[in-house]
Amino acid sequence: MKGVVWSMAVKRFTPEQIIGKLREAEVELAKGATIGRVCKKLEITDHTYYRWRTEYGGMRLDQAKRLKELEAENSRLKKIVADQALDIAILKEAASGNY
């Protein structure tokens, strides 16, 4: 398509914003709106709505914050374990004299 510029705006939403949008979606759906119209109003895709609903559906705001904190902590701990495993492998290699 000549002359058309495509841009993919990537938006990141906080857990608070996501829960707010899901609550807004619930209200609109209760009024009889379709998923497509609700998603268009919220400026998200259908896929994003279903993904958010799976991850955050029925969750309170404090629970969502705690979930994100735990995910960050889990990621940090996994990195530490990976670093330690690498250190152990290096020490074993050095101890065997194969360097």
Mention every residue, 6+ apart, whose C-beta is less than 8 A from residue 13.
Answer: 21
Mean of the per-residue pLDDT values of the chain: 87
Give me the pLDDT at residue 6, please: 52
> What mean pLDDT is predicted for residues 19-40?
93
Q: What is the pLDDT of residue 91?
A: 92
Distance CA 4, CA 18 (A): 31
pLDDT at 10: 61
Lowest-confidence pick of 12-16, 39-43, 51-55, 83-87: 12-16
How do the domains of the chain map onto residue ranges? 9-59, 66-99
- Name the residue with higher pLDDT: 6 or 37: 37
Q: Tell if the pTM clears 0.75, that is, is over it.
A: no
Read off the amino acid at residue 10: V
Question: Between 2 and 71, whose confidence is greater?
Answer: 71
- With b for 16 or more beta-carbon neighbours within 10 A and e for fewer, the 6-38 pattern comes to eeeeeeeeebeebbebbeebeebeeeeeeeeeb
Report residue 40's pLDDT band, with 50, 70 and 90 as the boundaries: very high
